């Protein structure tokens, strides 16, 4: 997960939807976001198509401290 977050940050991806919050993911910096805030994060459509990422360049290792500084991960609580 740490390597994925660093790779995405290097590619300009600002956040990753983790889908759910677990104690392990929270220990890595996952933050819950209200549904309304999440939808607002999705609303700014890119002005041009997002290029495909070159997954062959995916790094094998990364320090946890570095990825915490470069990427915010998002997980949504279930709606009532």
Average pLDDT over residues 9-37: 84
- pLDDT tens digit sequence for 29-68: 888 888 898 888 887 766 555 567 776 666 554 444 454 5
Task: Average the pLDDT over 12-32 and give the result.
Answer: 84
Every domain of the chain and the residues it spans? 2-40+58-75
In the predicted model, what is the mean pLDDT of residues 18-31? Answer: 86
Global pTM? Answer: 0.50
Calculate ∠ Cα 39-70-57, nearest 5°: 100
Mean pLDDT score across all residues of the chain:
70
Question: CB under 8 Å, gap of 24 or more: what pairs does 18-27 form?
Answer: 18/73, 18/74, 18/75, 19/75, 19/76, 20/75, 21/75, 21/77, 25/1, 25/73, 25/75
């Amino acid at each position: 997960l740490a390597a994925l977050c660093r790779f995405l940050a290097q590619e300009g991806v600002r956040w990753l939807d983790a889908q759910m919050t677990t104690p392990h993911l929270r220990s890595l910096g996952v933050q819950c976001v209200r549904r309304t805030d999440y939808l607002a994060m999705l609303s700014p459509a890119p002005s041009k198509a997002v290029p495909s990422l070159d997954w062959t360049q995916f790094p094998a290792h990364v320090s946890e401290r570095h990825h915490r500084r470069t990427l915010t991960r998002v997980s949504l609580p279930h709606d009532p």
